[in-house]
Amino acid sequence: NAGVTQTPKFRILKIGQSMTLQCTQDMNHNYMYWYRQDPGMGLKLIYYSVGAGITDKGEVPNGYNVSRSTTEDFPLRLELAAPSQTSVYFCASSYGSGGLETQYFGPGTRLLVL
Amino acid sequence: ILNVEQSPQSLHVQEGDSTNFTCSFPSSNFYALHWYRWETAKSPEALFVMTLNGDEKKKGRISATLNTKEGYSYLYIKGSQPEDSATYLCAFLSNDYKLSFGAGTTVTVRA
């Protein structure tokens, strides 16, 4: 199993550009998550999904959109990139719904908005 | 937003020494506490999930304790080795299933 994969690994965007961060998991997990990690801060939840077709906002959803058309994929869309979105983005997945299950993280996407 | 704090932010340990650090979280609405280990240039990996007051978990030289009444968890590393160098994250899960991560404690083990 590849686990959780993310692409790209690194990207530079200009202000106002859009892009999609890709996330795929091959563990048949129901739950998927997008986090951002800023220096000196904990992981902040952007969006999450409890299954195909179902998504919900996390702690910091503004400026982002997600979709979940399949169990495997959970792309994160930035429509109008802003410098405040410079961060490292992590996708994660877990099997169960109770929150006790381990989250498996992808390797991260480093995004720089200039 | 739930306040989860980890201290210290970073620490340096001599190889062979033991160390410990803290995760503080709200003592109300507790459901579970996760500990993750995050090596540089890698993804966070799960260490423990703790649910009961007084819980103690152990994995090799790393162990953790939990006090839900006062809202803290300690992570211990016994006989630190260079491969223990990483950032250790805790994540508090409330009973309405909101998961909040701390900023982490970065451990550097000097040979």
Residue B9: its H or E element: none
Interchain CB distance below 8 Å, A105 and B43: yes
| Measured distance between the N- and C-terminal CA atoms of chain A, rounded to whole angstroms | 36
Q: Which residues pair with A78 in a beta bridge?
A: A19, A64
Q: What are the angstrom distances between the C-alpha of A63 and each of A40, A108, A111, B110?
A: 22, 19, 14, 42
Taking only the tens place, the pLDDT of each residue in B17-50 is: 999 999 999 988 899 999 999 998 888 899 999 9
Is residue A2 less than 8 Å (CB to CB) from chain B? no
Taking only the tens place, the pLDDT of each residue in B52-97 is: 999 999 999 999 999 999 999 999 999 999 999 999 999 998 888 7
Burial class (CB in 10 A: 0-12, 13-18, 19+), A67: middle
Taking only the tens place, the pLDDT of each residue in A57-100 is: 998 999 999 999 999 999 999 999 999 999 999 999 998 766 77
Is residue A106 less than 8 Å (CB to CB) from chain B? yes
Interchain CB distance below 8 Å, A42 and B102: yes
- The DSSP bridge pattern shows strands B10-14 and B56-59 to be unpaired
CA–CA gap between residue A80 and residue B111 (Å, rounded): 47
| Residue recorded with tokens 């959109």 | A65
DSSP E strand stretches across B1-111:
5-7, 10-14, 19-24, 30-38, 45-50, 56-59, 62-67, 72-77, 86-94, 99-101, 105-110
Q: Which residue of A has its CA nearest to B50?
A: A100
Interchain CB distance below 8 Å, A41 and B9: no
Structure confidence at residue A98 (pLDDT)? 61
Cα within 13 Å of Cα(B71), Cβ side: 15
Is residue B2 less than 8 Å (CB to CB) from chain A? no
Is residue A56 less than 8 Å (CB to CB) from chain B? no
